[in-house]
Structure 1
Amino acid sequence: MPTFRTIDDLEPGQRLLVRIDVNAPIEDAVVQDDRRFARHAETIAELLAEDHAIALLAHQGRPGKDTFVSLERHAELLADHLGHAVDFVADTCGEDALAAIDALEPGDVLLLENVRMCEGELPEADPEVKAETELVRTLAPEFDAYVGDAYSAAHRSHASIVGFPLVLDAYAGRVMEAEYTANTALQDRPFDGPVTLVLGGTKAEDTIPVVERLCDTVDRFCLGGVVGELFLRADGHDVGYDVEGTDLFDHQWDDHREAIERILESCGDRLVLPTDLAYDDDGERAETSLEGVTKERPFLDVGAETADRYADLVADSAAVFVKGALGVFEDDRFAHGTVTVLSAIADADCFSVVGGGDTAHSIELYDLEEEDFSRVSLAGGAYVRALTGEPLVGIEVLEHED
């Protein structure tokens, strides 16, 4: 269990700087996914109930990207979820921001401008370096305490994540607390029965380290997506390479072939690979057994036989962790594998965490209930690191004693 203090430990009526993570997909300057807003609104609502005056720090996108925009509309969306006014100032640590912070009264909420527009927030550096940035030195004296609630960014050593806890009393918000507790469960708690990891998605670099580091901890890995095909290729099947219209496989095979072959040899008895795959046949879903198959078109999902086999393994598990979808679930023709396994997890009597924004989106898209899972994590990199027991710098600084 974490040793950091939480917002339960705060005295009421303080002036708080709260770091949240409402970074979201943006199209035509419009937020496309507001689930993070809803979760942080719960933390903020609790703080408002204790008469705190609240200034929020957050980021959106990265410099040079189309998603690197102002947070003005984010303030409006957050206010909708909170049911409470959220003021906005188009400044982060300049005179306008300081004036708006000075005017804060108990019960007020203020969102500062995109913190990544402030010099010193990026790039990553040691917390002690980030504590000396202008952002931290300017804002810290204006507040009584800092609340870290941006779990999705907790693996980033940025000023707003790691600098303030070194100079202010620091506490974990509800999102930070809940995500950390759920995502480290694989490392921190025993389970009375098999532990299963369901791993898919398109990025082998996100998945291969998980398998390699947890081979002695996890009882079985159910693989799908691009990574599943790459392991099938290593196992001698004529799949896992690019065909016309794809560029996902060959470069990842070149980059990770040695690791894949090493894992297959060292813990192949724990790997559960697809036995059939699905593809598009003139607009319809079609499936093929892997026996004797030659890849001539993209495979877009695991087959029904594989999905049922994975569902049976899930039902027999004490704990299940999911990272990455088993197919292209955005197309309902190829959502069968992902939805079948997620439904089995929801029905199972087990501890379960579904991680990664895309996979979590499938729960919403196919009308599954978040309440049927122990945790639906919207984190990506932080979730993977927590699964494998790697430290998160944004957590470590909350445990700082000075």
Structure 2
Amino acid sequence: MRFIDNAPIKGKRLLIRVDYNVPLKDGVIKDDNRIRASLPTLRFALEQGCTLVLCSHLGKPKGKVVPELSLAPVARHLAELLGQEVLMAPDCIGKATESMVDELKPGQILMLENLRFHAGEKKNDPAFCKALAGGLDGYVNDAFGVCHRAHGSVVGVLDHFALCCGGLLLKKEWEYLGEALKNPKRPFVAITGGAKVSSKLGILHALLDKVDRILIGGAMANTFRKAQGYEVGTSLVEDDLLDEARSIIAKARDKGVSLYLPVDYILGDGPQGEMTAGVCPYQDVPKGEMILDIGPATSALFAEGIRDAATIVWNGPMGAFENKVFSQGSFNLAMGVAQSDALSIVGGGDTDAIIHTLGIQDRISFISTGGGSFLEFLEGKELPAFKALQDKEAQ
């Protein structure tokens, strides 16, 4: 795959697919990490005398114009970060936008309006893709977070450019994730959490072929403990996956992979509770209580599991971390990962939020900007956007 630092982009008019799907409330950006992550690519292109046309989606407008999901606040914020004007187009395609693109001079930046205001983006519609590419002579994909989607701005639009490449952010994702899976330094430890086993079944099976240890926390661990015959009270659990959980436990045993599950829990009435109902060992969960975080003994166990790790890949919180009452397990684990000497790679919105809440992002080797893309890459699936770039390079 070709990347922007090894592509003939000098003086080109570039369409750059960025991932500016950021949390917005009343027009105010609550977290600008994804915007900041794109800055190296944008600055590199500007240094090469390029003209930049940026495109992104925001939220789920479902093919209709939703004013609250306009990218205008993002354009204003990007202008502040770059210290230069970022023009805002009225749409991502259409005559008015075409005119703005045609009038751009070298060094100028234009932000297109939300791609998903048009159904053609998610449908990978050829006419939409052709219109999106109009008036431009190069394409850069720097939006890892959508690389698992076969959408117009990451797949079909490449048909209309001779020059296509990945951005610097995409290059980091490719190198870190690819290297971690291809030739990991050992011990290789995977940590997975969050609510559902179902969303991570493929990953668990794939990782069991690669890792030395796997630590499972969060609500998904409840399904494993219930599969072993233990009470989980009113906790989140996937009863239809108990057999699958048992098969994963058996596969780990057969492959000699150490599988770590919680040995104690923080209990409560629900995720919004203002206080805990105490700590209990995994064998003694009362029927009327809910598991909402891993307990102190589990934190110590998991800390031991990563102590000598050389590579750590982590996706998913250990509990209902959004509530500080049930955040300690996730925070303890994050600090352990940050303090380790391992190559540490974390991904997913919740895991990212934990890292940034603690302000330890500089102590993590790499924070992936992808959620679904991160998971599918770990699973070994072919990402449509990566395939499109590779196919283009092979032509």
Q: Does 1:257 align with 2:242?
A: yes
Q: How far does residue 378 in structure 1 lie from its aligned partner after superposition?
A: 2.4
- Partner in structure 2 of residue 32 of structure 1: 30
Contact 1:136 1:160 in 2 (8 A): yes
Residues 300-340 of structure 1: CA deviation (Å, up to 9, x unaligned): 11011111111121121111100100112222232221111
Partner of residue 260 from structure 2, selected from 272, 284, 291: 272
Tell me the distance in 2 between the aligned counterparts of 1:384 and 1:306: 25
Q: How far does residue 67 in structure 1 lie from its aligned partner after superposition?
A: 9.3
Tell me the distance in 2 between the aligned counterparts of 1:159 and 1:198: 33
Residues 160-199 of structure 1: CA deviation (Å, up to 9, x unaligned): 11112233110111111111222223322232x2111111
Residues 51-85 of structure 1: CA deviation (Å, up to 9, x unaligned): 11000111111235989721111211222222221
Q: Where does 1:376-387 land on structure 2 (aligned, <5 Å)?
A: 376-387=367-378
Tell me the distance in 2 between the aligned counterparts of 1:233 and 1:68: 43
- Partner in structure 1 of residue 388 of structure 2: 397
What secondary structure, in the 3-state scheme, does the structure 1 residue paired with 2:305 have? helix
Contact 1:7 1:172 in 2 (8 A): no
- Partner in structure 1 of residue 299 of structure 2: 307
- Partner in structure 2 of residue 372 of structure 1: 363
Paired amino acid for 1:52: C
TM-score by length of 2: 0.91
Tell me the distance in 2 between the aligned counterparts of 1:68 and 1:307: 41
Partner of residue 184 from structure 2, selected from 179, 186, 190: 190
Paired amino acid for 1:178: K
Q: Where does 1:109-148 land on structure 2 (aligned, <5 Å)?
A: 109-123=109-123, 130=125, 133-148=126-141
Tell me the distance in 2 between the aligned counterparts of 1:361 and 1:139: 33
Q: Where does 1:3-402 land on structure 2 (aligned, <5 Å)?
A: 3-64=1-62, 69-123=69-123, 130=125, 133-168=126-161, 169-191=163-185, 193-239=186-232, 242=234, 248-249=236-237, 252-254=238-240, 256-268=241-253, 270-280=258-268, 283-285=274-276, 286-368=278-360, 370-400=361-391, 401-402=394-395
Paired amino acid for 1:58: S
Shift of the 68–154 alpha-carbon distance from structure 1 to 2, 3 Å rule, reads farther
Q: Between 333-342 and 227-236, report the one with greater CA deviation.
A: 333-342
Q: Which runs of 4+ in 1 moved over 4 A?
A: 64-68
Tell me the distance in 1 between the aligned counterparts of 2:321 and 2:60: 27
Paired amino acid for 1:150: A
Shift of the 112–159 alpha-carbon distance from structure 1 to 2, 3 Å rule, reads same
Aligned residue pairs: how many?
Answer: 383
Q: How far does residue 141 in structure 1 lie from its aligned partner after superposition?
A: 4.2
Q: How far does residue 360 in structure 1 lie from its aligned partner after superposition?
A: 0.6
What secondary structure, in the 3-state scheme, does the structure 2 residue paired with 1:122 have? helix
Contact 2:203 2:375 in 1 (8 A): yes
Structure 1: gaps of 5 or more residues: none
Paired amino acid for 2:248: I
Contact 1:56 1:110 in 2 (8 A): yes
Paired amino acid for 2:109: V
Tell me the distance in 2 between the aligned counterparts of 1:188 and 1:320: 14
What secondary structure, in the 3-state scheme, does the structure 2 residue paired with 1:160 have? coil
CA-based RMSD of the aligned residues comes to 2.0
Contact 2:344 2:366 in 1 (8 A): yes
Contact 2:189 2:306 in 1 (8 A): yes
Contact 1:43 1:174 in 2 (8 A): yes
Contact 1:7 1:171 in 2 (8 A): no
Shift of the 67–200 alpha-carbon distance from structure 1 to 2, 3 Å rule, reads farther
Tell me the distance in 1 between the aligned counterparts of 2:375 and 2:191: 13
Paired amino acid for 1:302: I
Tell me the distance in 1 between the aligned counterparts of 2:73 and 2:274: 39
Shift of the 67–272 alpha-carbon distance from structure 1 to 2, 3 Å rule, reads farther
TM-score by length of 1: 0.90
Paired amino acid for 2:133: A
Q: Between 202-211 and 299-308, report the one with greater CA deviation.
A: 202-211
Contact 2:217 2:317 in 1 (8 A): yes
User: How much identity, in percent, do the aligned residues show?
Assistant: 30
Q: How far does residue 371 in structure 1 lie from its aligned partner after superposition?
A: 2.1
Paired amino acid for 2:243: E
